[in-house]
């Protein structure tokens, strides 16, 4: 790469704007550390006339980002649009075909098309870097690719979404409902003001765990059907009960190799207050890897926002400027194989089950008998009557049981007239 490096930025949302400012502010520092002089020669966004803190020269603005490569010699492209298909995919593909290095925070794009894009990058001997796609400012992908490169990783898990972690933490701290805390998160910019669904339903964390899986286990990005649950059904009373039990609720992304097969999941989990993961609160993320010979490694930091994301984007930039041409997923695409999926029906967990029932004789025994029929052993029961409304709340903590048995058992409760609402299920994570 020449000493003079031309850069294009496509997408001027919060991240794109922050990145633009950082690149301009840190030009001299970047040159000092890499010997390369960077120059932003092209910018593309939906609306050129949108009010921003800086003006964009007409000379470098492109309404159609695909036209950039026809008029400019681009060395590095920052793709900051954010969608998995459409213009994002077309742009990155065109850049790689034109032997342009690509840096992106786009987890949706990488988790869906990362395998094909990696092949394209390798074919054209350029970099495809996506450190910012997982856990914001935490250098977890580079840690796995480089720092832990000689280790056999068998498990990676953690808190991968700052929005959900903030909501769960704030519900516990303030005793406010899910809806109220969500509104607060939106006002603070921690959750999308319009549609925060992808954070809340677990999709965001799931895209990240699939990227982590591919890197950790040297496999292709899986397309397996997996358990994916968000936090929309978590109530304040669940937070309070967990607290009484010495537990906290966290949305965990988990990926591990079980009997040579790949298991991936995202779901709310009850974790001990004394555990490390149980004390990662607010908008913080934490990723834990388990491997041989290193044992357990922990990385924690802010997982979202323009600042942490920009930090990871610039880290990728520095790597490319220093001449580190490497495989996007750590090893050659030719050597990455699909890993057979672990049957989620055999996934075992202790369970937290919350029932809202009619306060009448025989209801509790009917529930426990039903659980026993499906080999679900009860560890603990907490029953709280509401005599005024002739209801009762029953909390059941089970011993470890298979997912398939849980599904079959709970489906039957739908037809029980004494059970007022379908039971809330939260898995315990040990």
Number of domains in the chain: 3
| DSSP SS3 for 250 | strand
Residues 150 and 46 in one domain: no
* Sequence-ordered list of residues with C-beta below 8 angstroms from that of 8, at least 6 positions apart, any chain: 40, 41, 42, 43, 44, 65, 68, 72, 74, 76, 77, 78
Residues 121 and 148 in one domain: no
The pair of three-digit structure tokens given for residue 272, joined into one six-digit string: 């001990």
> Is 21 inside any structural domain?
yes
DSSP H or E run through 74: none
Tell me the per-residue pLDDT of 112-123, one tens digit each, with 9 for 90 and over.
Answer: 999 999 999 999
Q: In this predicted structure, what is the pLDDT of residue 74?
A: 97
Spatial CA neighbour of 87 closest among 112, 69, 65: 65
* Sequence-ordered list of residues with C-beta below 8 angstroms from that of 156, at least 6 positions apart, any chain: 144, 209, 212, 213, 216, 255, 256, 287, 288, 289, 290
Residues 145 and 206 in one domain: yes
Q: In this predicted structure, what is the pLDDT of residue 58?
A: 82
Q: In this predicted structure, what is the pLDDT of residue 14?
A: 87
Residues 151 and 289 in one domain: yes
> Is 83 inside any structural domain?
yes
Residues 153 and 270 in one domain: yes
Residue 303 pLDDT greater than 90, yes or no: no
Enclosing domain of residue 205 = 140-301+338-344
Residue 137 confidence class, pLDDT cut points 50, 70, 90 = confident
Q: In this predicted structure, what is the pLDDT of residue 190?
A: 83
Q: In this predicted structure, what is the pLDDT of residue 398?
A: 97
Could you tell me which residue, 29 or 415, shows the higher pLDDT? 29
Residues 244 and 369 in one domain: no
What CATH number is associated with residue 42? 3.40.50.720
Residue 428 pLDDT greater than 80, yes or no: yes
Residues 81 and 100 in one domain: yes
Are 328 and 117 in contact by the 8 Å Cβ rule? The answer is: yes
Q: How far is CA 28 from CA 22, 25, 32, 399, in A?
A: 11, 8, 6, 59
| DSSP SS3 for 152 | strand
Residue 305 confidence class, pLDDT cut points 50, 70, 90 = confident
Main-chain phi, psi angles of 400, to 5 degrees: -60, 135
Residues 104 and 220 in one domain: no
Are 212 and 134 in contact by the 8 Å Cβ rule? The answer is: yes
Tell me the per-residue pLDDT of 152-191, one tens digit each, with 9 for 90 and over.
Answer: 999 999 999 999 999 999 999 999 999 999 999 988 888 8
Q: In this predicted structure, what is the pLDDT of residue 415?
A: 80
Rounded CA separation 14/190 (Å): 12
Tell me if residue 337 is catalytic.
no
Rounded CA separation 157/414 (Å): 33
> Is 331 inside any structural domain?
no
Residue 194 confidence class, pLDDT cut points 50, 70, 90 = confident
**What mean pLDDT is reported for the chain?**
93
Residues 30 and 97 in one domain: yes
Boundary (domain end) residue, out of 291, 316, 344: 344
What CATH number is associated with residue 192? 3.30.360.10
Q: How far is CA 201 from CA 15, 263, 352, in A?
A: 23, 19, 19
Q: State percent of the chain over pLDDT 70.
A: 100
Tell me the per-residue pLDDT of 349-371, one tens digit each, with 9 for 90 and over.
Answer: 999 999 999 998 999 999 999 99
Instruction: Kindly state the average pLDDT of the residues 302-306.
Output: 83
Tell me the per-residue pLDDT of 121-134, one tens digit each, with 9 for 90 and over.
Answer: 999 999 999 999 99
Cβ atoms within 10 Å of 275's Cβ, excluding its own: 14
Residue 195 pLDDT greater than 90, yes or no: no
Spatial CA neighbour of 394 closest among 405, 385, 407, 406: 385
Q: State percent of the chain over pLDDT 90.
A: 82
Residue 75 pLDDT greater than 80, yes or no: yes
Tell me the per-residue pLDDT of 26-51, one tens digit each, with 9 for 90 and over.
Answer: 999 999 999 999 999 999 998 776 77
Residues 95 and 165 in one domain: no
Rounded CA separation 410/407 (Å): 5
Q: In this predicted structure, what is the pLDDT of residue 54?
A: 72
Are 211 and 132 in contact by the 8 Å Cβ rule? The answer is: no
Boundary (domain end) residue, out of 291, 323, 344: 344
Residue 247 pLDDT greater than 90, yes or no: yes
Helix ranges, 41-151 (H): 68-71, 86-97, 107-123, 140-142
> Is 325 inside any structural domain?
no
Boundary (domain end) residue, out of 96, 118, 133: 133
The pair of three-digit structure tokens given for residue 202, joined into one six-digit string: 């677990």
| DSSP SS3 for 235 | coil
**Residue tagged active-site, from 36, 208, 250, 402:** 208
Residues 112 and 159 in one domain: no
Could you tell me which residue, 328 or 72, shows the higher pLDDT? 328
DSSP H or E run through 42: strand 37-44
3-state helix, strand, coil in the chain (%, to 5): 40, 30, 35
Q: In this predicted structure, what is the pLDDT of residue 82?
A: 86
Rounded CA separation 308/306 (Å): 6
Are 248 and 428 in contact by the 8 Å Cβ rule? The answer is: no
Q: In this predicted structure, what is the pLDDT of residue 240?
A: 96
Instruction: Kindly state the average pLDDT of the residues 191-213.
Output: 91
> Is 324 inside any structural domain?
no
> Is 226 inside any structural domain?
yes
> Is 84 inside any structural domain?
yes
Residues 30 and 85 in one domain: yes
What CATH number is associated with residue 361? 3.30.70.260
> Is 321 inside any structural domain?
no
Tell me the per-residue pLDDT of 376-394, one tens digit each, with 9 for 90 and over.
Answer: 999 999 999 988 888 999 9
Spatial CA neighbour of 322 closest among 61, 90, 38, 124: 38
Residue 192 pLDDT greater than 80, yes or no: no
């Amino acid at each position: 790469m020449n000493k003079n490096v031309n850069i294009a930025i496509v997408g001027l949302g919060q991240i794109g704007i922050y990145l633009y400012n950082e690149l301009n502010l840190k030009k001299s520092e970047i040159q000092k550390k890499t010997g390369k002089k960077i120059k932003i020669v092209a910018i593309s966004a939906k609306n050129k006339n949108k009010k921003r803190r800086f003006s964009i020269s007409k000379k470098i603005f492109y309404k159609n980002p695909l036209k950039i490569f026809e008029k400019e010699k681009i060395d590095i492209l920052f793709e900051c649009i954010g969608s998995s298909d459409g213009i994002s995919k077309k742009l990155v593909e065109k850049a790689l075909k034109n032997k342009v290095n690509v840096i992106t925070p786009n987890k949706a794009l990488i988790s869906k098309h990362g395998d094909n894009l990696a092949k394209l990058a390798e074919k054209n001997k350029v970099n495809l870097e996506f450190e910012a796609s997982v856990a914001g400012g935490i250098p977890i992908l580079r840690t796995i690719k480089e720092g832990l490169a000689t280790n056999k990783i068998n498990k990676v898990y953690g808190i991968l979404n700052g929005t959900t972690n903030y909501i769960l933490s704030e519900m516990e701290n303030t005793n406010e409902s899910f809806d109220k805390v969500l509104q607060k998160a939106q006002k603070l910019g921690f959750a999308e003001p319009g549609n925060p669904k992808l954070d809340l339903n677990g999709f965001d964390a799931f895209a990240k765990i699939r990227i982590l899986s591919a890197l950790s286990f040297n496999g292709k990005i899986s397309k397996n059907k997996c358990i994916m649950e968000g936090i929309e059904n978590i109530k304040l009373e669940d937070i309070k009960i967990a607290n009484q039990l010495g537990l906290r609720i966290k949305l965990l992304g988990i990926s591990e190799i079980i009997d040579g097969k790949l298991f991936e999941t995202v779901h709310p989990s009850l974790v001990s207050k004394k555990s490390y993961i149980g004390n990662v609160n607010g908008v913080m993320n934490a990723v834990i890897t388990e491997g041989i010979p290193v044992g357990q490694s922990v990385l924690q930091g802010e997982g979202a926002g323009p600042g942490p994301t920009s930090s990871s984007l610039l880290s990728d930039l520095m790597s490319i400027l220093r001449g580190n041409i490497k495989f996007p997923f750590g090893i050659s695409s030719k050597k990455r194989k699909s890993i057979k999926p672990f049957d989620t029906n055999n996934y075992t967990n202790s369970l937290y089950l919350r029932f809202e029932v009619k306060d009448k004789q025989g209801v509790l025994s009917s529930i426990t008998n039903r659980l026993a029929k499906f080999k679900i052993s009860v560890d603990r029961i907490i029953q709280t009557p509401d005599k005024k409304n002739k209801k009762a709340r029953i909390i059941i903590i089970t011993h470890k049981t298979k997912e398939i048995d849980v599904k079959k058992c709970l489906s039957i409760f739908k037809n029980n007239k004494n059970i007022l609402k379908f039971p809330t299920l939260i898995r315990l994570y040990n």
